[in-house]
C-alpha cells in the first residue's frame, strides 16, 4: 500500500476495514528490530580505521626503540 494518509479519518477507515492488524506492542517490537538493524548496517558501512598512520609512526620510532632495548640488554646481561 503505497498511498499517503492525509487525515486521521482516512486512518480510522483503514483500521475499521481490518487492513491494520498490528497492535501497539507489535508495532513497538517491529520498530525496535528495525532500529537495531539500522544500527548494524551503520556499523557495517562505516569506514575502517586507517592503519597507515600507525605504520608511519612505527617506522619513525623503531630505530630509537631498538637502540634503547639494546642498551638495556647490555646493561642487564652484560
Burial class of 43 by CB neighbour count within 10 A (0 to 12, 13 to 18, 19+): exposed
- pLDDT 10s digits, 24-76: 787 788 888 899 999 988 888 887 778 899 999 999 999 999 999 999 999 99
* Cα 71 to Cα 58: distance, rounded to the nearest angstrom: 19
pLDDT value of position 55: 93
> Sorting pLDDT into bands at 50, 70 and 90, what band is 6?
low
1 found inside a domain? no
34 found inside a domain? yes
2 found inside a domain? no
21 found inside a domain? yes
Tell me how many domains the chain contains. 1
51 found inside a domain? yes
Q: Which domain holds residue 32?
A: 8-77
3 found inside a domain? no
Amino acid at each position: 500500500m503505497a498511498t499517503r494518509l492525509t487525515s486521521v479519518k482516512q486512518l480510522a477507515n483503514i483500521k475499521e476495514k481490518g487492513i491494520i492488524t498490528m497492535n501497539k506492542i507489535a508495532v513497538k517490537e517491529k520498530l525496535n528490530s528495525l532500529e537495531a538493524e539500522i544500527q548494524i548496517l551503520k556499523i557495517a558501512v562505516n569506514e575502517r580505521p586507517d592503519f597507515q598512520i600507525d605504520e608511519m609512526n612505527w617506522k619513525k620510532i623503531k630505530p630509537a626503540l631498538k637502540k634503547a632495548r639494546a642498551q638495556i640488554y647490555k646493561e642487564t646481561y652484560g
